[in-house]
């Protein structure tokens, strides 16, 4: 008898230790998120995120990075099943070494009252995937049967060295383009002078640089193209690192420009799934943080202004409460359309969550960012959204922050977002339907980002 | 010579714990985990053993932050010990935390103790 109890005790202890040691986070909670059971890895991953320093509620702990969980769990239509499978949660970029940046969340609805979650740190995994994706894109560009391409030699400043037939075939440009920067193949709002150099530098560092997007022909028409830039192997012979060297048009890079309009549909739909916000089709948090990381990295190497505007639909909760969620969704889509139309191709327009949107503007100072935000704000104020309950008017508020050496380092994208949020909070406080720029004397309240959302 | 049982927030606690007998550690009303520079658990008192549901033999000799208390393996706890060691400074800080004792979230205060000259580093656990 005693042996039986002793054996049970030992088994229980082994089971407890098994759960302590499981290398993934496991949580069982009520449908309202109230945590019933939780293992140590969950605490390791969730404690740094928890806004209240508690682990009583799973949804509260994840509120800062996944504000819609509670709602989406509530709205899950089936009696049981996977609500999310491998949902990527992007944590705020953190300077601390080894801090996780991306978590994966599985959420299983057990029944009407209970859920279970699996949480994993997939930062390293995603980084590897990203590298693979880049290699894929590169191989794709090289190996896909090329119907036609333009081969352009560029000097170390990215200017066209020589003209040839292939340039005329693909783009229609004539010999006069020799000496012009390769940005002439891009629509005006798809390239900045800084990006022109970024791509050369990235080609230098990685061996190649590839981007896809709209390209321009001589007659002003556009096509969907890929541009692969690779440094020429014997470029050292052309005094690459010698600032005194004559900057004639010696070739330093090779640019392969291809018309891939046919392939665009396929590529786009692949990108959509992983990088688009489901409702609005804008960039999602994942795409936004990837773009932000790249731009901050570029700005750190070659200083230039970088602006962030956070837009928030005013009193959105009232719209939802009064007209219902479908009408609210229409408003969000309308705002997304307005944002897409108002900003440049080179800007990243993203939905961060709920009614909060962000636009990242490379090589843009405060004045231009404010003008852009004002333009969008004014545009929205004139629009009406058709819904089942008639036409709805709405407004937006905006907070603007600019990466500027003079204001001190804001602390990565997280710091920049915080500043924009503080400005947004002031815009809300001052009556909404306005755009406000961050200044160093704005109150740096830790709670501001959260309250700015609650301020409607 | 005092025989009073030291409290969780007593100053100079690390020195006292370094020289305490196993029985004295077990008599404390807060959890004591002592580990070495390689994070291997060297001492584990009865209070902590009961709260976690793990007997000392399952814990002693194991690396703390990966095999015993992975919930502390982040910048809030583990990193603090590493930073203190890297900088050769003393660590004595008390933070609010949540442990997952027997898979229940339990609010605790953690006192983190480390000194360059100390025999052990300590995580002390008190329920709040």
Q: Is residue A62 part of a domain?
A: yes
Residue A64's domain spans which residues? 2-121
Among A9, A26, A51, A55, the strongest candidate for a mutation testing the B interface, having the largest count of B CBs within 10 A, is: A55
Q: Is residue A366 part of a domain?
A: yes
Among B98, B101, B128, the strongest candidate for a mutation testing the A interface, having the largest count of A CBs within 10 A, is: B98
Note whether A446 and A314 are same-domain residues: yes
Of the candidates A20, A48, A55, the beta carbon closest to that of B76 is on A48
Note whether A340 and A412 are same-domain residues: yes
Note whether A51 and A174 are same-domain residues: no
CB contact under 8 A, A44 and B58: no
Phi, psi (rounded to 5 degrees) for A424: -60, -40
ipTM over 0.85: yes
- For residues B67 and A241, what is the distance between their CA atoms, to the nearest angstrom? 52
Q: Is residue A317 part of a domain?
A: yes
Q: Which residues of A touch B67 (CB under 8 A)?
A: 21
Note whether A86 and A132 are same-domain residues: no
Note whether A241 and A348 are same-domain residues: no
Structure confidence at residue A95 as a pLDDT band (50, 70, 90): low
Note whether A346 and A446 are same-domain residues: yes
A131 pLDDT exceeds 50? yes
Q: Which of A121, A138, A168 finishes a domain?
A: A121
Would you state the structure tokens that stand for residue B121, as one six-digit string? Answer: 């580093």
Q: Which residues of B touch A9 (CB under 8 A)?
A: none
Note whether A292 and A437 are same-domain residues: yes
Q: Does A99 touch chain B (CB under 8 A)?
A: yes
Choice between A28 and A127, residue whose per-residue pLDDT is larger: A28
CB contact under 8 A, B103 and A38: yes
Note whether A93 and A135 are same-domain residues: no
CB contact under 8 A, A40 and B100: yes
Q: Does A44 touch chain B (CB under 8 A)?
A: yes
User: What pLDDT, on the 0 to 100 scale, is given for residue A75?
Assistant: 87
Residue of chain A whose Cα is closest to the Cα of B53: A13
Distance between A121 CA and the closest CA of chain B, angstroms: 12
Note whether A249 and A303 are same-domain residues: no
Note whether A141 and A86 are same-domain residues: no
CB contact under 8 A, A39 and B103: yes
Q: Is residue A284 part of a domain?
A: yes
Distance between A6 CA and the closest CA of chain B, angstroms: 13
User: What pLDDT, on the 0 to 100 scale, is given for residue B77?
Assistant: 94
Structure confidence at residue A139 as a pLDDT band (50, 70, 90): low
Note whether A109 and A206 are same-domain residues: no
CATH code for the domain of A445: 3.30.70.270
Check: CB of residue A379 under 8 Å from CB of residue A342: yes
Residue for token pair 């440049």: A344
CB contact under 8 A, A54 and B100: no
Q: Is residue A162 part of a domain?
A: yes
For A216-227, write each residue's pLDDT tens digit: 999 999 988 889
Among B53, B57, B67, B70, the strongest candidate for a mutation testing the A interface, having the largest count of A CBs within 10 A, is: B70
Q: Which of A121, A149, A178 finishes a domain?
A: A121
Q: Is A224 helix (H, G, I), strand (E, B) or coil?
A: strand
Q: Which of A66, A100, A121 finishes a domain?
A: A121
For A284-304, write each residue's pLDDT tens digit: 998 899 899 889 888 888 888
- For residues A76 and A82, what is the distance between their CA atoms, to the nearest angstrom? 9
Instruction: Please report which helix (H) or strand (E) contains residue A397, including its range.
Output: strand A396-403
The mean pLDDT of A433-438, rounded to a whole number, is 96
**Considering only residues 8 to 67 of chain B, which have any Cβ-Cβ distance to chain A shorter than 8 Å?**
52-55, 58, 67
Q: Which residues contact A70 (CB under 8 A, 6 or more apart)?
A: A32, A33, A59
- Read off the DSSP letter of residue A306: E
- Rounding to the nearest 10 degrees, give the CA dihedral for residues A47, A52, A54, A57: -100
CATH code for the domain of A31: 3.30.450.20
Q: Does A55 touch chain B (CB under 8 A)?
A: yes
Helix axes A261-275, A285-301, angle to 10 degrees: 100
Choice between B1 and A277, residue whose per-residue pLDDT is larger: A277
Check: CB of residue B63 under 8 Å from CB of residue B38: yes
Strand partners, A391: A386
Of the candidates A35, A44, A96, the beta carbon closest to that of B105 is on A35
Among A44, A51, A60, A120, the strongest candidate for a mutation testing the B interface, having the largest count of B CBs within 10 A, is: A44
Distance of CA A308 to CAs A92, A416, B74, Å?
Answer: 15, 7, 30
pTM strictly above 0.90:
no
| Residues A267-276 as b or e (16 or more Cβ within 10 Å = b) | eeeeeeeebb
Would you state the structure tokens that stand for residue A171, as one six-digit string? Answer: 């783009």
User: What pLDDT, on the 0 to 100 scale, is given for residue A38?
Assistant: 95
Q: Is A400 helix (H, G, I), strand (E, B) or coil?
A: strand
Question: What is the third-level CATH fold of B14-127?
Answer: Beta-Lactamase (3.30.450)
Pairing state of beta strands A102-109 and A81-90? antiparallel
For A2-53, write each residue's pLDDT tens digit: 788 999 999 999 999 999 989 999 999 999 999 999 999 999 999 988 888 8
* Number of domains composing chain A: 3
Structure confidence at residue A353 as a pLDDT band (50, 70, 90): confident
Q: Is residue A89 part of a domain?
A: yes
A236 pLDDT exceeds 50? no
- Rounding to the nearest 10 degrees, give the CA dihedral for residues B78, B83, B84, B86: 130
Helix axes A316-323, A325-342, angle to 10 degrees: 140
A163 pLDDT exceeds 70? yes
């Amino acid at each position: 008898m005693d042996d039986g109890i002793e054996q049970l005790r030992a088994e229980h202890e082994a089971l407890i230790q098994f759960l302590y040691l499981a290398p993934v986070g496991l949580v069982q909670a009520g449908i309202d998120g109230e945590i019933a059971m939780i293992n140590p890895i969950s605490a390791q991953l969730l404690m740094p995120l928890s806004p209240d320093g508690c682990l009583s509620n799973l949804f509260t702990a994840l509120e800062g990075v996944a504000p819609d969980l509670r709602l989406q769990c509530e709205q899950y239509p089936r009696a049981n099943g996977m609500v999310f499978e491998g949902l990527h949660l992007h944590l705020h970029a953190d300077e601390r070494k080894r801090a996780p940046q991306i978590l994966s969340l599985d959420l299983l609805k057990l029944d009407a009252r209970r859920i279970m979650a699996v949480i994993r740190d997939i930062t390293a995994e995603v980084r590897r995937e990203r590298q693979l994706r880049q290699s894929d894109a590169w191989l794709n560009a090289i190996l896909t049967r090329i119907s036609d391409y333009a081969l352009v030699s560029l000097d170390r400043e990215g200017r066209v060295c020589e003209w040839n037939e292939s340039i005329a075939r693909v783009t229609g440009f004539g010999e006069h383009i020799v000496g012009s920067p390769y940005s002439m193949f891009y629509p005006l709002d798809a390239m900045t002078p800084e990006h022109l150099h970024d791509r050369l530098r990235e080609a230098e560092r990685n061996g190649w640089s590839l981007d896809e997007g709209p390209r321009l022909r001589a007659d002003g028409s556009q096509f969907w193209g890929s541009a692969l830039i690779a440094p020429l192997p014997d470029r050292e012979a052309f005094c690459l690192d010698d600032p005194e060297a004559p900057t004639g048009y010696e070739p330093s890079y090779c640019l392969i420009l291809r018309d891939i309009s046919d392939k665009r549909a396929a590529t786009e739909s692949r990108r959509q799934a992983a990088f688009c916000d489901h409702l609005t089709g804008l960039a999602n948090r994942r795409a936004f943080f990837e773009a932000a990381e790249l731009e901050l990295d570029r700005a750190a190497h070659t200083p230039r202004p970088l602006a962030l505007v956070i837009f928030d639909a005013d009193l959105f909760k009232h719209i939802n409460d009064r007209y219902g969620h479908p009408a609210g969704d229409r408003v969000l889509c309308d705002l997304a359309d307005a944002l897409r139309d108002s900003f440049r191709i080179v800007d990243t327009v993203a939905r961060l969550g709920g009614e909060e949107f962000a636009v990242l503007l490379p090589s843009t100072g405060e004045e231009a960012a404010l003008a852009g935000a004002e333009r969008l704000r004014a545009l929205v104020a004139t629009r009406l959204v058709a819904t089942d309950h008639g036409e709805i008017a709405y407004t937006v508020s905006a907070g603007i922050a600019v990466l500027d050496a003079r204001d001190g380092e804001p602390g990565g994208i997280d710091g920049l977002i915080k500043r924009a949020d503080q400005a947004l909070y002031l815009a809300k406080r001052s009556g909404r339907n306005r755009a406000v720029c961050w200044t160093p004397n704005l109150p740096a309240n830790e709670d501001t980002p959260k309250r700015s959302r609650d301020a409607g | 010579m005092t025989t009073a049982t030291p409290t969780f927030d007593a100053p100079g606690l690390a020195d006292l714990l370094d020289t305490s007998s196993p029985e004295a550690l077990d008599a404390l009303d807060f959890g004591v985990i002592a580990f070495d520079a390689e994070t291997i658990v060297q001492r584990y008192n009865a209070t902590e053993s009961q709260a976690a549901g793990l007997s000392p033999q399952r814990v002693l000799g194991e690396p703390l932050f990966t095999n015993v208390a992975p919930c502390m393996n982040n910048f809030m706890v583990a990193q603090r010990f590493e930073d203190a060691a890297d900088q050769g400074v003393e660590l004595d800080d008390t933070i609010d935390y949540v442990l997952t004792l027997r898979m229940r979230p339990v609010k605790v205060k953690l006192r983190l103790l480390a000194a360059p000259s100390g025999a052990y580093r300590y995580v002390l656990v008190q329920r709040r």
